[in-house]
């Protein structure tokens, strides 16, 4: 491949990093804020264990978007990389990236398992779908991931790049680099969530087919059906963005250093695209719920126009100064 073609691939990778990540960033922040508003505003979601996981995912996603997506976009678009000027930020950025990714995918896995339990015909299994257990599981797994990420604070450091001779934020221990790349990223943060959500997603889907015929309160039945559909569609949707990233990242890890520059540039472009799309699951939940659940659309419109805008109009009307007559 000629040098101009190589430059074109490099330029394309840079453009993808700037524009695609910027779009995902804007839509992602909006998505998570709207989710938080809806789940916190309606009482029907406050006692739902599945809704609790979805709410937790929204909070975690905002942190993940800031430390991962926003930081990378600033670096590529404006050459602003705080990780090369601040050792503390260098360590914290990758620490929060791992912890938030782990918590996010743990929550989506727990939400899928929860909906399997909630839609089971066995009363014994249904008892495990409750808000108290959900809160405890969230706290326990959060502590586990916080502790698991501690080595990042030690092994991520500022170093001089051999290729560019510039300061970079990178792992400075080869053994931990192998553990982080193959076990943490590929297995813990990508492969395991895929396996768990697919397995329990299929089981929950089978359960929901028979949900109509079970004796339970109508509101509970409709809520379980709504949340199950929302979670299962999100599970399937996430697969389309996790799996390509796993494949390309694994290829990049095993890239031969003697590989022709044009092939290396193609892998880099693919990694830029799949790396940006990796953040789509953190940014798209609200839009998925609105598209697949008519009930959620009605709930969103009710929260937005009846609760919050209606309350604002009432407050505005009370604060108006009536003219003298």
Element (H, E) at 58: helix 49-64
Under the banding of pLDDT at 50, 70 and 90, the label for residue 7 is: confident
C-alpha dist (Å) from residue 223 to 29, 167, 203, 297, 308: 26, 52, 18, 13, 23
CATH number at residue 152: 1.20.1070.10
Number of domains comprising the chain: 1
Record the pTM: 0.89
Write out the residue range of the structural domain in which residue 18 sits.
3-305
Mean pLDDT across the chain: 86
Rounded Cα gap, residues 176 and 157, in angstroms: 13
Please check the confidence at residue 1 and state whether its pLDDT lies above 60: no
Task: Kindly report, residue by residue over 207-229, the tens digit of the pLDDT.
Answer: 888 765 555 565 666 788 889 99
Whether 37 is in a domain gets the answer yes
Under the banding of pLDDT at 50, 70 and 90, the label for residue 325 is: very low
Whether 192 is in a domain gets the answer yes
Whether 310 is in a domain gets the answer no
Please check the confidence at residue 296 and state whether its pLDDT lies above 60: yes
Mean pLDDT of 182-194: 90
Whether 96 is in a domain gets the answer yes
Task: Kindly report, residue by residue over 132-159, the tens digit of the pLDDT.
Answer: 999 999 999 999 999 999 999 999 999 9
Q: 65: which 2 tokens?
A: 């978007």
User: Strands 167-171 and 156-160, how do they pair?
Assistant: antiparallel
Q: What is the pLDDT, as a whole number, of residue 117?
A: 93
Please check the confidence at residue 308 and state whether its pLDDT lies above 90: no
Mean pLDDT of 260-271: 78
Cβ distance 67 to 81 under 8 Å?
Answer: no
Whether 105 is in a domain gets the answer yes
Mean pLDDT of 156-164: 84
Whether 195 is in a domain gets the answer yes
Whether 325 is in a domain gets the answer no
Please check the confidence at residue 27 and state whether its pLDDT lies above 90: yes
Whether 316 is in a domain gets the answer no
Beta-bridged to residue 169, according to DSSP, are 158
In the chain, % helix, strand, coil (3-state, to 5) comes to: 80, 5, 15
């Amino acid at each position: 491949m000629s040098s101009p073609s190589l430059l074109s691939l490099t330029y394309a990778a840079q453009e993808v990093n700037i524009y695609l990540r910027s779009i995902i960033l804007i839509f992602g922040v909006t998505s998570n804020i709207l989710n938080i508003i809806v789940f916190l505003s309606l009482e029907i979601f406050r006692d739902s264990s599945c809704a609790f996981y979805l709410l937790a995912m929204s909070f975690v996603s905002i942190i993940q978007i800031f430390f991962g997506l926003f930081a990378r976009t600033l670096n590529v678009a404006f050459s602003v990389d705080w990780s090369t000027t601040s050792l503390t930020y260098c360590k914290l950025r990758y620490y929060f990236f791992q912890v938030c990714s782990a918590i996010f995918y743990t929550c989506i896995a727990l939400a899928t398992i929860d909906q399997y339990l909630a839609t089971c015909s066995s009363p014994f299994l249904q008892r495990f779908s409750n808000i108290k257990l959900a809160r405890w599981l969230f706290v326990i797994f959060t502590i586990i991931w916080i502790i698991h990420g501690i080595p990042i604070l030690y092994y991520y450091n500022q170093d001089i790049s051999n290729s560019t001779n510039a300061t970079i934020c990178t792992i400075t221990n080869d053994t931990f680099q192998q553990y982080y790349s193959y076990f943490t990223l590929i297995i813990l943060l990508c492969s395991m969530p895929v396996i768990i959500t697919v397995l329990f997603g299929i089981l929950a889907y089978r359960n929901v087919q028979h949900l109509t015929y079970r004796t339970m309160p109508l509101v509970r039945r409709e809520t379980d059906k709504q949340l199950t559909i929302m979670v299962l569609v999100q599970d399937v949707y996430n697969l389309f963005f996790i799996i390509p990233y796993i494949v390309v990242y694994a290829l990049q890890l095993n890239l031969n250093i003697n590989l022709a520059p044009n092939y290396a540039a193609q892998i880099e472009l693919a990694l830029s695209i799949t790396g940006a799309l990796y953040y789509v699951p953190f940014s798209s939940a609200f839009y998925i719920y609105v598209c697949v659940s008519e009930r959620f659309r009605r709930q969103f419109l009710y929260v937005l126009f009846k609760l919050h805008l209606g309350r604002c109009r009432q407050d505005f009307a009370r604060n108006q100064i009536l003219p003298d007559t």
